[in-house]
């Protein structure tokens, strides 16, 4: 891919950051159930889009440096379309994040009901009190875990909402940019190009959040399995 060869020095850090992240994610994906967060097709699409966007930005910069104003305008339109597509995906991600918040709230309510039931059982003078205390302790832990998950989901939704607002602002400013060749326009154009790199950084941030979500999903899967084992044990003890 041409993005990997001799990019402008001032953008080396931007490119290194995303490529290092993608390499990390690729290695991780081979060891964990990636489908917990996004399917393989979705993941491949995200990787391709962020690298394509980075290459488009570099091409715009090269066109501006060479004074190729017609090509710069053409690439500007391509990048605008890419931004619109990314924003649509960010909107979908915000909706999904809200669904996860709603699901976490339901889990917290259910765990609190279970905890109240265990408290009532613990007060009754019957059966093995040690089992009741253990069940009560387990349910308290489950409530704490679910409350933590809810806080994490709310924070994730808020980050995605803030990122969406930022992306819309950047795209509006970018789409209103005019490329002209007179006077000091080249310096101004290079300054405006930073809008594109700022948008690119929001895409990097989104990719990092997706990675964090995948790690959390694996942890939650293990937690759910533990809770199911505890529920099965409690049912056996009751009957």
Quick check: is 22 in a domain? no
Quick check: is 141 in a domain? yes
Sorted by sequence, the CB contacts under 8 Å of residue 70 that are 6+ apart come out as none
The number of residues making up the chain comes to 239
pLDDT greater than 80 at residue 69: yes
Nearest Cα neighbor of 143 from 124, 116, 121, 120 is: 116
Quick check: is 143 in a domain? yes
**Considering the chain, what is the average pLDDT of its residues?**
74
Range of the domain at 207: 53-238
> pLDDT (tens digit, 9 = 90+) per residue, 105-130?
888 888 777 666 655 655 555 555 55
Quick check: is 1 in a domain? no
Q: Locate 97 and state its tokens.
A: 């994040």
Quick check: is 18 in a domain? no
> pLDDT (tens digit, 9 = 90+) per residue, 184-216?
566 777 778 899 999 999 998 888 887 777 777
CA distance linking residue 223 with residue 192, whole number of Å: 48
Q: How many CB atoms lie within 10 A of CB 40?
A: 10
For residues 14-41, give the mean pLDDT: 48
Quick check: is 178 in a domain? yes
Per the structure, the count of domains in the chain is: 1
CA distance linking residue 83 with residue 168, whole number of Å: 9
pLDDT greater than 80 at residue 85: yes
Quick check: is 70 in a domain? yes
Quick check: is 193 in a domain? yes
Instruction: Give the range among 6-20, 58-72, 162-176, 192-206 with minimum mean pLDDT.
Output: 6-20
- By CB neighbour count within 10 A (0-12 exposed, 13-18 middle, 19+ buried), where does 44 fall? exposed
């Amino acid at each position: 891919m041409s993005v990997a060869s001799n990019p402008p020095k001032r953008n080396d850090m931007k490119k290194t950051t995303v490529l290092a992240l993608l390499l990390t994610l690729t290695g991780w994906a081979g060891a964990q159930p990636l489908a917990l967060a996004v399917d393989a097709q979705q993941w491949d699409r995200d990787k391709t889009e962020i690298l394509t966007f980075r290459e488009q930005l570099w091409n715009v910069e090269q066109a501006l440096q060479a004074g190729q104003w017609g090509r710069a305008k053409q690439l500007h339109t391509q990048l605008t379309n890419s931004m619109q597509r990314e924003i649509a995906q960010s909107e979908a991600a915000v909706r999904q994040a809200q669904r996860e918040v709603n699901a976490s709230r339901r889990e917290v309510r259910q765990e609190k009901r279970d905890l109240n039931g265990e408290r009532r059982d613990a007060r009754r003078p019957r059966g093995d009190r040690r089992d009741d205390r253990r069940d009560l302790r387990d349910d308290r832990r489950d409530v704490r875990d679910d409350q933590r998950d809810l806080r994490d989901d709310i924070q994730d939704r808020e980050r995605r909402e803030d990122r969406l607002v930022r992306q819309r602002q950047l795209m509006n400013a970018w789409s209103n940019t005019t490329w002209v060749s007179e006077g000091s326009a080249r310096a101004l154009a290079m300054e405006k190009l930073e809008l594109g790199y700022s948008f690119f950084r929001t895409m990097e941030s989104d990719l990092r959040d997706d990675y964090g979500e995948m790690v959390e999903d694996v942890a939650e899967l293990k937690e759910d399995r533990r809770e199911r084992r505890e529920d099965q044990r409690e049912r056996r003890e009751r009957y």
